[in-house]
């Protein structure tokens, strides 16, 4: 992609509110959109808040240095919001390119919209509880959360040091794999060999998790024929509750300077989120950390003999946005558990003419290369199973 052409396209589609700021970098090559929690030298890092009083970053984050070493250009900083609708009071609501009346999902909604609209080659996001995978699913792109710690968070404003992972949004699995290989300095994550057919992998579906699917997601799930067996992983509500008891106190520690009540600086929703974290005591937080260790062990045991877990990424397609009404964070219920365990997880879009649906694969801790190879096989299976309106992955 040529940077000047991409900037022109971004300006033509400014109504999407996908970007907060653009660079003046020039040239041709992979153009990367960067969620505005990542430091890019000479640019402000707003984290979605007011830019008042901020100074430009003195240097690139580790991940930006890594992608530059691979010949990538940064095209700009993408919009974000802590709420599921990705409705930012300072930079506007991010519109879903697949249906502008609908939400993109958050918090990496700007990155997902930029990829879905073809405004960049791929994009960087962060995933604390589904913030890469959920918007990827709602916008019809690939969203990959690697194993916890695989990609450096130096120079990244993370919400929760225990749970946060730097991830990627891309138009196809191979592009996502190449991006993560660059970001992590692990070229072996990109396999030149054709892997086994998807049906040869042994898959598990979390038992008693898949309730409340909407019509579109249920239809796509029924149409995907796999050899998956039900697996007794920990209770979904237990895993989600553990996630919340960890992320909220850590968010307070990360953003304690924002507990000012200044509505011009930060929106009221963020303020309330942080105040909930303040009310959680140290004992409750430490108990949640201990519970996390138990959950990780139980999931590891449950997956013995399995290659991956498979399930929908979200229980429904992107809801229509309603002013002043933010969708319930139930959209994240299939994604949050795997931030607790730190496992690699990827959302692969189901091709078709309807609203986007994502299928999530969850690999064993540290087995990112295998998961990416499986995801490429899943992508091919989905294209063969749902060919109507499908496009070839890039």
Has 260 been annotated as catalytic?
no
Percentage of residues in the chain having pLDDT higher than 90: 81
Structure confidence by residue, pLDDT tens digits, 24-44: 999 999 999 999 999 999 999
pLDDT band at 96 (very low <50, low <70, confident <90, very high): very high
When the pLDDT of each residue in the chain is averaged and rounded to a whole number, the result is 92
**pLDDT digit string (tens) for 315-330?**
999 999 998 776 778 9
pLDDT tens digit sequence for 334-376: 999 999 999 999 999 999 868 999 999 999 999 999 999 999 9
Per-residue model confidence (pLDDT) at position 271: 66
The pLDDT tens digits for 170-228 are 999 999 999 999 999 999 999 888 889 999 999 999 999 999 999 999 999 999 989 89
Averaged pLDDT for residues 83-104: 95
Concerning whether 11 is annotated as a catalytic residue, the answer is: no
Whether omega for the bond prior to residue 190 falls within 30 degrees of 0, making it cis, is no
Predicted pLDDT at 83: 87
End-to-end CA, the chain? 13
Q: Which of 81, 107, 137, 157 is catalytic?
A: 107
SS3 state at 74? strand
Residues 6+ apart with CB under 8 A from 286: none
Which phi and psi (to 5°) does residue 112 adopt? Answer: -65, -45
Q: What is the pLDDT of residues 116-130, one digit of tens each?
A: 999 999 999 999 999
Res 274 pLDDT > 80? no
Taking the C-alpha atoms of residue 303 and residue 142, their distance in angstroms, rounded to an integer, is 24
Mean pLDDT of 87-107: 96
Residue 319 pLDDT? 96
Residue 105 has pLDDT above 60, yes or no: yes
Token pair of 376 as six digits: 């490429």
Tell me what pLDDT residue 50 has: 87
The pair of structure tokens assigned to 137 is 């699913």
The CA distance from 153 to 156, in Å, is: 5
| Nearest CA among 152, 130, 149, 169 for reference residue 311 | 130
pLDDT at 273 over 90: no
Structure confidence at residue 391 (pLDDT): 39
- CA angle at 250 for the pair 127 and 289, rounded to the nearest 5°: 90
- Please tell me the chain's helix, strand, coil percentages from 3-state DSSP, rounded to the nearest 5: 35, 15, 45
Tens digit of pLDDT for each residue in 281-302?
888 999 999 999 999 999 999 9
pLDDT at 350: 97
Least confident of 59-63, 83-87, 310-314, 352-356: 352-356
Rounded to whole angstroms, the Cα distance separating 241 from 10 reads: 39
Residues 6+ apart with CB under 8 A from 124: 32, 33, 34, 35, 38, 63, 67, 111, 166, 167, 168, 169, 183
35 is catalytic: yes
Predicted confidence (pLDDT) at residue 388 exceeds the cutoff of 70: no
Of residues 81, 111, 121, 131, which has the active-site annotation? 131
Length of the chain: 394
pLDDT at 393 over 50: no
């Amino acid at each position: 992609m040529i940077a000047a052409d991409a900037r022109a396209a971004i300006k033509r589609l400014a109504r999407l509110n996908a970007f907060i700021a653009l660079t003046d970098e020039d040239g041709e090559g992979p153009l990367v959109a960067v969620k505005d929690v990542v430091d890019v030298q000479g640019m402000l890092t707003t984290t979605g808040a007011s830019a008042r009083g901020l100074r430009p970053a003195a240097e690139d984050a580790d991940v930006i240095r890594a992608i530059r070493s691979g010949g990538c250009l940064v095209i700009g900083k993408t919009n974000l919001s802590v709420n599921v609708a990705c409705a930012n009071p300072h930079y506007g609501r991010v519109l879903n390119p697949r249906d502008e009346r609908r939400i993109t999902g958050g918090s990496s909604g700007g990155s997902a919209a930029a990829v879905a609209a073809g405004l960049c080659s791929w994009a960087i996001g962060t995933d604390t509880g589904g913030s890469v995978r959920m918007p990827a699913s709602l916008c019809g792109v690939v969203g990959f959360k690697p194993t916890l710690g695989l990609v450096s968070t130096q120079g990244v404003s993370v919400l929760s040091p225990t749970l946060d992972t730097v991830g990627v949004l891309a138009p196809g699995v191979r592009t996502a794999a190449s991006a993560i290989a660059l970001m992590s300095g692990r070229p072996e994550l990109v396999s030149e060999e054709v892997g086994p057919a998807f049906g040869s992998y042994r898959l598990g579906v979390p038992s008693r998790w898949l309730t409340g699917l909407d019509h579109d997601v249920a239809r796509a799930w029924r149409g995907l024929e796999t050899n998956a067996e039900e697996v007794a992983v920990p209770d979904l509500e237990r895993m989600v509750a553990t996630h919340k008891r960890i992320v909220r106190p850590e968010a307070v520690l990360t953003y304690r300077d924002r507990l000012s009540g200044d509505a011009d600086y930060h929106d009221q929703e963020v303020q309330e989120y942080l105040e909930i974290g303040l009310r959680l005591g140290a004992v409750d937080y430490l108990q949640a950390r201990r519970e996390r260790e138990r959950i990780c062990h139980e999931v590891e045991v449950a997956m013995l003999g399995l290659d991956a877990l498979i399930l929908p990424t979200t229980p429904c397609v992107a809801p229509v946005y309603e002013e002043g009404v933010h969708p319930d964070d139930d959209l994240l219920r299939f994604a949050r558990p795997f931030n607790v365990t730190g496992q690699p997880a990827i959302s692969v879009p189901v091709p078709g003419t309807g609203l986007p649906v994502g299928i999530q694969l969850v690999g064993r801790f540290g087995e990112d290369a295998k998961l990416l190879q499986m995801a490429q096989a899943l992508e091919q299976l989905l294209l063969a199973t749902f060919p109507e309106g499908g496009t070839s992955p890039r």
